[in-house]
């Protein structure tokens, strides 16, 4: 009896299941604000619109510009009822790094207000040179923040100044744009 020789076939499906987020922005960050670095096109649009619409955001970005803190900005979906967060990445070579994540899927004005809120947290870190790692970051917020308890493996804090910054930016956005009136008689 002839044995049927079966060949083993490895089938590899090359499905585009993985979306790789580039670590670097697809375009250079605006030269005016190299300390605030959007990581994606949608984050860049958000920062640009925030700079155009909010004087407080402009002031905070200027403040970060004069500091040793570099802040990356990205948009992401949050599972929980959360609008944004700031995390400390680390420090090296005299430069400190933090990451702002803005919850996506909200209306633009809410996302810009969240950007204002999180930029205020970035200023809180920029003004605290003792924050150099995650331990000193946590210690800083244990001192200046309200403890909101644990979410997963991290402890959450909030500050009144950041809440107020977000509310201030929301009010700025609610004002009509200068020169934006159209039509009329």
Positions touching Zn ion (CB under 5 A) are 158, 162
3-class SS at 147? strand
Cβ 177 to Zn ion shortest distance, Å: 27
Let me know the angle formed at the C-alpha of 116 by 71 and 125, rounded to the nearest 5 degrees: 45
**Smaller CB distance to Zn ion: residue 61 or 122?**
122
**Smaller CB distance to Zn ion: residue 30 or 159?**
159
Cβ 145 to Zn ion shortest distance, Å: 8
Cβ 147 to Zn ion shortest distance, Å: 12
DSSP per residue, 24-75: S-SSPPPTT-TTEEESSHHHHHHHHHHHHH-HHHHHHHHHHHTSSEEEEEEE
Cβ 29 to Zn ion shortest distance, Å: 23
- Nearest residue to Zn ion, scored by beta-carbon proximity: 162
**Smaller CB distance to Zn ion: residue 62 or 158?**
158
What is the Cα–Cα distance from 51 to 43, expressed in whole angstroms?
Answer: 12
């Amino acid at each position: 009896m002839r044995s049927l020789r079966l060949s083993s076939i490895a089938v590899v499906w090359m499905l585009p299941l993985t979306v790789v987020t580039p670590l670097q922005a697809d375009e250079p960050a605006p030269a005016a604000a190299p300390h605030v670095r959007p990581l994606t096109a949608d984050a860049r649009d958000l920062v640009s619109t925030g700079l155009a619409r909010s004087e407080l955001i402009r002031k905070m970005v200027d403040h970060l510009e004069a500091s040793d803190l570099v802040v990356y900005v990205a948009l992401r979906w949050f599972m929980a009822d959360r609008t944004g967060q700031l995390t400390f990445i680390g420090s090296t070579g005299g430069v400190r790094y933090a990451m702002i994540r803005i919850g996506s899927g909200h209306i633009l004005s809410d996302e810009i207000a969240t950007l204002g809120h999180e930029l205020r947290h970035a200023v809180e870190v920029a003004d605290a040179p003792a924050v150099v790692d995650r331990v000193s970051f946590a210690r800083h917020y244990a001192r200046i923040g309200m403890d909101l308890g644990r979410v997963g493996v991290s402890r959450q804090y909030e500050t009144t100044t950041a809440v107020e910054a977000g509310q201030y930016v929301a009010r700025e956005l609610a004002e009509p744009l200068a020169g934006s009136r159209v039509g009329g008689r």
